[in-house]
Chains A and B, each alone.
Chain A
Amino acid sequence: MAPTDNPHEPFGIDYAPAPESTAVVNIAKTYGHFINGDFVEPSSGATFPTVNPATETHLANIADGSAEDVDRAVAAARAAFEGPWGQMPGSERGKYLFRIARQLQERSREFAVLETMDGGKPIKESRDLDLPLSAAWFFYYAGWADKLEYAFPNRSVAPHGVAGQIVPWNFPLMMAAWKLAPALAAGNTVVLKPAETTPLTALLLADVLQNIDLPPGVVNIVTGAGATGAAIVDHRGIDKLAFTGSTEVGKAIQRAASARRIPLTLELGGKAAHIVFEDSAIDQAVEGVVTGIYSNQGHVCCAGSRLLVEESIADSFVERLRRRISTLRLGDPLDKNTDVGAINSADQLQRITDMVATGVSEGADLFQPECDLPDKGYWFPPSVFTGVQQSHTVAREEIFGPVLTVQTFRTAEEAVEKANNTPYGLSAGIWTEKGSKILWMTEKLRAGVVWANTYNQFDPASPFGGYKESGFGREGGMHGLAPYLHERADLTGGGA
């Protein structure tokens, strides 16, 4: 075999198509809201379509939630909280969560395929990341349900009541799992709104909830867009709010919720610095940087979107990066070999396209590998900006797409300065083989998650969340329970 110039076929061979079968998935024509244990028609009768972003194929019509629908859902959640769920011992609550975890494991293939069809992410990610983590999240928090008194020493805790939870479209099922599992383990009931472009896996989860006999009203799922979310935020029957999404919407929710003084957690945007020192394991660092920004098409709040590379290795590192990016396989998200899937929606594609155009017009140098984009669907090639100044829009604003900016630094202090020069503070990455430098950087970086010599790792036992304008509150671990509990008035704490 003769080497070729084509990076996809360096030895003259290519991958055969390996599409995952969609036979396992059964999509209904129309979905209602899931309220009080049943699917119900939206009060207005209005629906909106959800499409496969890789093909622009219509998948289903989805109920458009009105304030009246939200009201029904909150009433059902309230009744469940004051009824069976509120009375149930933690040990019994936990068993329901264990059941959910098991069913997610058993039906993992079905969920993964549906997630990829509705959202456009590569099947290898929905299969190997979204689904295992979703199941793990329920499994982890299931075990907390009867151990809450050990989580907060000298504190007597109780659930808030009805939690309103609004989740984004980048990890649709996983974000629902991150929200539902701790809320239910703590004894709350829930009104959940999935994102309007990716409602299908949450609605399939409703099927699981029916199958495991979760008492009606414990979890209610109302579908819709921003207006539906606003109806949840504004509903007087909601005792606690949790939101994952953009910083812009998060701020609007904080404003709306502030007058009501209800507890709020926000997991918002990011503009993470991914810092590579000259003494790092370079090949691993290249892989880490690529994973950090191109996995899930960069639709990741903690994506490592700002590469800060030590000046001494910058040219060679960027060259390696370009070579590696040129081998990424973009295309059918259902193909098991696909690295980069479809952009989630036409709107998001437009945002990314506009941001990249801004980057070019402000003078940054754009690199995109040669890459055939499919005719149908929403696609954007993996992109790298070099020659980036701190003042450039692409270096400051979250793009939420497969776009990396490259800046250089000479000293660790400068790297810290640049990394922290952002209103965001969700995550950061560090690559160096020097342990003491990792720990020094870790202390200096103002970010809630620091990945050292790795990137984009998640685990239900590991708290995740932001500093500064990336939000407040943590999801995962013992810390992820706290937002769903309040201190009971009958104990005022210790102290002198």
Chain B
Amino acid sequence: MAEHMPVDKTFKLFIGGVFPRSESGRTFQVHSADGDLLANAAQASRKDLREAVRAARSAQAGWADRTAYNRGQVLYRVAEVMESRRAEFTSVLIDMGHSPGDATAEVDRSIDRWVWYAGWADKLHHVLGTVNPVVGPYFNFTFPEPTGVVVVAAPDDPPLLGLLSRIAPVVVSGNTAVVATGGPSTLAAVTLAEVLATSDVPGGVVNILTGEKGELLPWALGHMDVNSVDLTGAPDGLEDEAVAAAADNVKRIVRADPAGASPYMIGDFLEMKTVWHPIGR
């Protein structure tokens, strides 16, 4: 019997729950830490970004309308699927130059991180919301809501833990995400896309673009249907002028610890709504 000839994977974008190539036809080479060519990954264009924002916008209301309990379960399911692909994630990180021990540790932390955030779906209201003792005869309360569509510049380091640590606080509350990745996190991102596609996350909730973050971010920052941009993983060369364009529709700009975890990081992508109603007979 002939030796099995490996079937190489085509690395594509993940938009609206499906895997298109870049409309531009562009690809870029992904190399291992040893310099071996691993893939010709799709290099997302401005139009791909717009498509991804459109998919994210279409999915947002439905995702936010899920009950918090349901969103928590859907996200937990992602961790279940990741667990079943531990070996693949580990090998991706080894390709990227991690030692086997470091790779295993990062995969474990990443899965645990995701589980931790999944559990916040139906608890963040307790920690971040309030009932307010106002002076007049009014029932007054404040609760968090998702801000809308968030573009996430995924951190290069740590490639998998950083990616998950920035996506989870965005989507757990009902936002949808367009994730811009490139460089070392490309393979982790594409693998994550396959996990998302085979779990219960509705199409469009997380969209993943691979390519040049520095090329995609100025368009994201100027896009009038994006509510927030997480610049945690933005490249150093990002121009001040590009970031200033976020003011055109008063985007919420976030920068955070790439590997941190906190309910306040969920809060970075939330709006607070206060409701007043008279008390009377």
Taken together as a complex, chains A and B put the C-alpha atoms of A247 and B250 apart, in Å, by 9
Judge if A261 is at the interface, Cβ distance under 8 Å: yes
Taken together as a complex, chains A and B put the C-alpha atoms of A165 and B115 apart, in Å, by 41
Residues from chain A with a CB closer than 8 A to the CB of B140 are 459, 461-462
Binding site for B on A (CB under 8 A): 136, 152-155, 247, 250-252, 254-256, 258-259, 261, 266, 268, 423, 438, 442, 447-454, 457, 459, 461-465, 467-472, 474, 477-479, 487, 492-496
Taken together as a complex, chains A and B put the C-alpha atoms of A447 and B276 apart, in Å, by 13
Task: Select B116's contact among A261, A478, A496, beta carbons within 8 Å.
Answer: A496
Residues from chain A with a CB closer than 8 A to the CB of B138 are 454, 457
| CB<8 Å pairs between A and B, sample of 15 | A154-B262, A155-B262, A254-B246, A258-B246, A447-B273, A449-B274, A452-B276, A457-B136, A459-B136, A462-B132, A467-B271, A468-B227, A474-B142, A492-B260, A495-B113
Interface of B is mostly: mixed
Taken together as a complex, chains A and B put the C-alpha atoms of A423 and B225 apart, in Å, by 10
A496-B115 contact in complex given A457-B138, A477-B142, A479-B272, C-beta closer than 8 Å = yes
Residues from chain B with a CB closer than 8 A to the CB of A467 are 147, 271, 273
- B264 pairs with A152, CB closer than 8 A: yes
- A258 pairs with B253, CB closer than 8 A: yes
Tell me, rounded to whole Å, the shortest Cβ–Cβ distance linking B243 to chain A: 5
List the 10 shortest-distance A-B pairs measured between CB atoms, nearest first: A495-B261, A493-B262, A254-B247, A259-B240, A459-B134, A496-B116, A255-B244, A496-B112, A251-B247, A461-B132
- B132 pairs with A155, CB closer than 8 A: no
Please give me the residue from chain B that is nearest to A268 by CB atom. Answer: B250
Taken together as a complex, chains A and B put the C-alpha atoms of A268 and B246 apart, in Å, by 16
A468-B277 contact in complex given A463-B132, A493-B262, C-beta closer than 8 Å = no
- A438 pairs with B109, CB closer than 8 A: no
Tell me, rounded to whole Å, the shortest Cβ–Cβ distance linking A281 to chain B: 10
Judge if B25 is at the interface, Cβ distance under 8 Å: no
Task: Select B278's contact among A266, A454, A462, A471, beta carbons within 8 Å.
Answer: A454
A251-B272 contact in complex given A259-B244, A495-B260, C-beta closer than 8 Å = no
Taken together as a complex, chains A and B put the C-alpha atoms of A493 and B130 apart, in Å, by 21
Residues from chain A with a CB closer than 8 A to the CB of B278 are 453-454
Tell me, rounded to whole Å, the shortest Cβ–Cβ distance linking A419 to chain B: 14
Taken together as a complex, chains A and B put the C-alpha atoms of A405 and B138 apart, in Å, by 28
Given contacts A250-B250, A459-B140, A468-B227, 4 further A-B contacts (CB under 8 A): A451-B276, A457-B134, A462-B274, A462-B276
- A468 pairs with B113, CB closer than 8 A: no
Taken together as a complex, chains A and B put the C-alpha atoms of A452 and B273 apart, in Å, by 13
Tell me, rounded to whole Å, the shortest Cβ–Cβ distance linking B258 to chain A: 12
- A457 pairs with B276, CB closer than 8 A: yes
Judge if B35 is at the interface, Cβ distance under 8 Å: no
A459-B135 contact in complex given A258-B246, A479-B142, C-beta closer than 8 Å = yes
Judge if B215 is at the interface, Cβ distance under 8 Å: no
- A266 pairs with B250, CB closer than 8 A: yes
Taken together as a complex, chains A and B put the C-alpha atoms of A471 and B247 apart, in Å, by 10
Task: Select A452's contact among B116, B127, B277, beta carbons within 8 Å.
Answer: B277
- B250 pairs with A438, CB closer than 8 A: no
Tell me, rounded to whole Å, the shortest Cβ–Cβ distance linking A428 to chain B: 10
Judge if B255 is at the interface, Cβ distance under 8 Å: yes
- A454 pairs with B250, CB closer than 8 A: no
Task: Select A468's contact among B109, B250, B253, beta carbons within 8 Å.
Answer: B250
A463-B142 contact in complex given A442-B273, A450-B276, C-beta closer than 8 Å = yes
Residues from chain B with a CB closer than 8 A to the CB of A442 are 273, 275
Judge if B102 is at the interface, Cβ distance under 8 Å: no
A464-B277 contact in complex given A469-B250, A493-B261, C-beta closer than 8 Å = no
